[in-house]
Amino acid sequence: MSDDDIRIGVFICHCGTNIGGVLDISELTEYAKTLPNVVYSDANLYTCSEVGLSEIRNNIKDNNLNRVIVASCSPRTHEPLFRSTCQEAGLNPYLFEMVNIRDQDSWVHMKEPKKGTEKAKDLIRMGVYKASLLEPLEKMQVGIIPSAIVIGGGIAGMNSALNLANQGFNVSLIEKESELGGLLRYLNKLYPTNEDASNILETRNLVENHKKIDVYKSAVIEKIEGYVGNYKVVICQNKKTIEIEAGAIIVATGAIPLSPEGYYDYNGKTIISQLELEDILKKNELTANNITMIQCVGCRNEERKYCSNICCMTALKNAILIKEQNPDANVNIIFRDIQTQGVTYEAYYRIAREKGILFIKYVPEKPPVIKKDQIEVYNEFLNQVIGFPFDLVVLSMPLIANKDSEHLAKMLKVPLEENNFFLEAHVKLRPVDFATDGVFVCGSAHWPADISESISQSNAAASRASTILSKEMLEVEGSTAEVNSELCVGCEACIKMCPYSAIYKDEDTDIVVVNKVVCKGCGVCGASCPQNAITIHHFTSDQLIAEIVTYGGGE
């Protein structure tokens, strides 16, 4: 398209008094008319109101506009609306450009309206120069395989699979061990209702008998390929290689308890772990009468700074069970902070105290010491060391990340946090999503979680996966990166920078390729490329330079 054919319409928004109360809107409207290729300019009280939008639509038709600029608020909230308005009038949505004269101008320069108006002129001029160079782009459509792969057959994985299957999706559940159930298999009772763990473990039967769930046990994942809607996972089961396709993947690989070996003279007999106590209670073989539990063994220290979330409640549960069996038993819990958040867990803590379980706070500088016939601990309330005779010491060990998390994370191209738990997309608002579309996480793979938390999270992950699986097609962003193969030298700087793992190296040609389905057009690759080999569509170098040059007064 030659320069003569470009017809830009500029719509300037008062945004009530937000912009109109500060900037001189009529001056801006007149100014816009003086800029190259601008054939129409007008102001609206609210461009996003139906009146404003129909004005855009009508002018695209009446004035043959082929570029539209709205100078108003922020593209974060309003670009989708204006783009679809352009599309309704037959204009490619990528021929729309937004200029932010509110958040970045009238709001910041409320007390200097003249300067604010001058700045708005600069911003509008820059938008006009960029708009002249805009190109139409197409959004790609990708088909979606309407089934899911769940990795890990513990309670989180089983429950996710069950929910998705009940929603009507086919699910492949992959478990590395020879049976389903994960850590739940080793538990005796569950807090806070002291329900038999075996009752919840019955989920196994529902999963194994569900006609929409294929269970692969003793299966090892060898390879993961693809992208949202189209993943391919290669597993090895009984020396056979099986290829499974799915639109979404849920990671539910759980965590493992830290081994008590080497902590507090652990001997497996008189000094045992909480998990071993669980087994003794399950078999009804407890004979000890003086029992002391130590919390935070091997965590909340220099090596492992975190709190493992579930150990306080587990200790309370086993202490209560012991007291219920044998009210004369002396049960002490040596703790740092009791983590019983919420209504039911705090009530459980109260029950434990009412049953006569003794709680003694310790400080990390003076941890408890196990002597021959008694355990001694310094208590800061009493400012003295107190001792208890014991015949059983129980160590509360934290859950730690699975050893194979690193390998799995690499195959999935998703990140881990410093303790090797999987790192979600946003800790506040996207707690079970990964930044990589179509991959989700739940249960202790994400962070130590108890049964009820794991079930909540697994329902959540199933919901998030269903938002993809229920669609026939997925529309992906048209503004993506493209590599000029003639300029690329294969240095891989962009591959390291890409937060979405959208770039890979073609083994045959030794140059990099962008997967347009995965690319979000963030531009990090373009900025990092030493060869200027990467173009970000809709933010091309030409477009950005035109903006900068005109800002500096050039043509």
State in angstroms the smallest separation of the CB of 307 from other proteins.
5
Handedness of CA 36, 37, 43, 44 (dihedral sign): negative
Of 163 and 535, which has the nearer Cβ to other proteins?
A: 163
State in angstroms the smallest separation of the CB of 534 from other proteins.
27
530-550 burial, b for 16+ CB within 10 Å, e for fewer?
A: eeebbbbbbebeebbebbeeb
State in angstroms the smallest separation of the CB of 434 from other proteins.
14
The whole-angstrom separation of Cα 343 and Cα 333 is 21
Of 1 and 343, which has the nearer Cβ to other proteins?
A: 343
Contact 233/246 with Cβ under 8 angstroms?
yes
Of 77 and 218, which has the nearer Cβ to other proteins?
A: 77
Of 505 and 520, which has the nearer Cβ to other proteins?
A: 520
In the block, which residue shows the tokens 């009238």?
Answer: 106
The whole-angstrom separation of Cα 376 and Cα 389 is 9
Which tokens is 308 given?
A: 């493992």
State in angstroms the smallest separation of the CB of 18 from other proteins.
8
State in angstroms the smallest separation of the CB of 484 from other proteins.
33
Of 61 and 305, which has the nearer Cβ to other proteins?
A: 305
State in angstroms the smallest separation of the CB of 343 from other proteins.
4
DSSP code at position 495: H
Of 325 and 470, which has the nearer Cβ to other proteins?
A: 470
The whole-angstrom separation of Cα 421 and Cα 427 is 13
Residues of this chain that interact with other proteins (CB under 8 A) are: 14, 16-17, 45-46, 49-50, 76-77, 80-81, 163, 166-168, 190, 192-193, 195, 200, 300, 305-309, 337-347, 350, 380-381, 383, 417, 421, 426-432, 446-447, 451-452, 455-457, 459-464, 466-467, 470-472
State in angstroms the smallest separation of the CB of 84 from other proteins.
10
Amino acid identity, position 39: V
Q: What is the dihedral of CA 142, 501, 404, 452, to 10 degrees?
A: -60
Of 130 and 464, which has the nearer Cβ to other proteins?
A: 464
Which tokens is 15 given?
A: 């945004």
Contact 480/463 with Cβ under 8 angstroms?
no
Where is 83: in which H helix or E strand?
helix 75-88
Mapped onto helix, strand or coil, the DSSP state of residue 260 is coil
Of 259 and 301, which has the nearer Cβ to other proteins?
A: 301
The whole-angstrom separation of Cα 29 and Cα 545 is 24
State in angstroms the smallest separation of the CB of 536 from other proteins.
22
Contact 42/69 with Cβ under 8 angstroms?
no
